Amino acid sequence: DSGVTQTPKHLITATGQRVTLRCSPRSGDLSVYWYQQSLDQGLQFLIQYYNGEERAKGNILERFSAQQFPDLHSELNLSSLELGDSALYFCASSQSGGMGEKLFFGSGTQLSVL
Amino acid sequence: GQQVMQIPQYQHVQEGEDFTTYCNSSTTLSNIQWYKQRPGGHPVFLIQLVKSGEVKKQKRLTFQFGEAKKNSSLHITATQTTDVGTYFCAGRGNSGGSNYKLTFGKGTLLTVNP
């Protein structure tokens, strides 16, 4: 158990809908990362937060948004969902988001868009 | 942007054979990390390499960081069925805002025939 909690574990929804994925980092970790994993694209970095502020941005679509709350949990919002958004979404955390830190991954949320 | 390429995509070996996966970055890296993801699981941190030419060992696993800090390899000696999984390299950039972004390769899926 990495200590990173992601909910829900599975999500099935329809195209055009909006969903929210939730992540609670390890106790004491201030930085949260979101990754999308699909079979053909591997682990794609979406976005990183540190102590409530956005620190780095990857290939995150405009239909996607995220935030980190004062209690350090984070939410990833996906809207106007398309079939191609079906993937495994991982949240990871690290202590301060510094360059030398390892990431601790949650178990992921499997999103299926039908 | 920074790209991290990993080969091979798949590798099937007989138990007891050796295995190597290679990672190449389009830009110089400040450090490189390796993760392992078991089937149905989440990525788990294995090791980080920071120095040019660095070599680290963990039991049967040997990790190398290239002299130019643009490539890395993971070698497993005498594979066991417990080594099954996808091995990812992940690199952090060396300049500007890309420093915080940890870019993953697409991974090498290792299967071991007992």
Mean predicted confidence (pLDDT) in B17-26: 96
Residue B38, Ramachandran bin (φ over 0: left; ψ between -120 and 50: alpha; else beta): beta
Please judge whether A107 and B101 are an interchain contact, meaning their C-beta atoms are less than 8 angstroms apart: no
List all residues 6 or more positions away from B59 whose beta carbon is below 8 Å from its beta carbon.
Answer: none
Please judge whether B45 and A102 are an interchain contact, meaning their C-beta atoms are less than 8 angstroms apart: yes
The C-alpha atoms of residue B34 and residue B105 are separated, in whole angstroms, by 10
**Per-residue pLDDT for B98 more than 60?**
no
Please judge whether B104 and A43 are an interchain contact, meaning their C-beta atoms are less than 8 angstroms apart: yes
pLDDT at residue B61, rounded to an integer? 98
The C-alpha atoms of residue A53 and residue A69 are separated, in whole angstroms, by 9
Nearest CA in chain B to A96: B100
List all residues 6 or more positions away from B71 whose beta carbon is below 8 Å from its beta carbon.
Answer: B22, B23, B24, B25, B65
Among A21-35, A44-58, B84-98, the range scoring the smallest mean pLDDT is: B84-98
Mean predicted confidence (pLDDT) in A16-33: 97
Residue B82, exposed/middle/buried by CB under 10 A (0-12, 13-18, 19+)? exposed
Instruction: Give per-residue pLDDT as tens, A62-85.
Output: 999 999 999 999 999 999 999 999
Q: Give yes or no for B5 touching A (CB within 8 A).
A: no
Inter-chain contacts counted by CB atoms under 8 A, chains A and B? 57
Q: Give yes or no for B21 touching A (CB within 8 A).
A: no
pLDDT at residue A48, rounded to an integer? 93
Residue carrying the six token digits 């949320």: A109
Instruction: Give per-residue pLDDT as tens, B56-68.
Output: 999 999 999 999 9
The C-alpha atoms of residue B72 and residue B63 are separated, in whole angstroms, by 7
- Please tell me what DSSP assigns to residue A101: P
- Closest partner residue to B31 (CB to CB) among A100, A103, A108 is A100
